[in-house]
Amino acid sequence: MLEDGKVYIGTGDTPQYLSLRYANRHGIVTGATGTGKTVTLQI
């Protein structure tokens, strides 16, 4: 879910977001085991 330039990543006591403003140097690939994360990076 995208909200105000941030990607929702989960909730503990409060909602947690990853700011896309800091995504210029690193990437994040998430998913369950066996869903093709490594294969996607190799292509």
Say how far apart CA 17 and CA 30 lie, in whole Å: 14
- Residue 1 pLDDT: 59
- Residue 32 pLDDT: 94
Give the model confidence (pLDDT) of 1-43 as tens digits.
566 788 888 998 999 988 888 767 677 788 999 999 999 888 7
Neighbours of 22 (CB within 10 A): 8
- Residue 4 pLDDT: 79
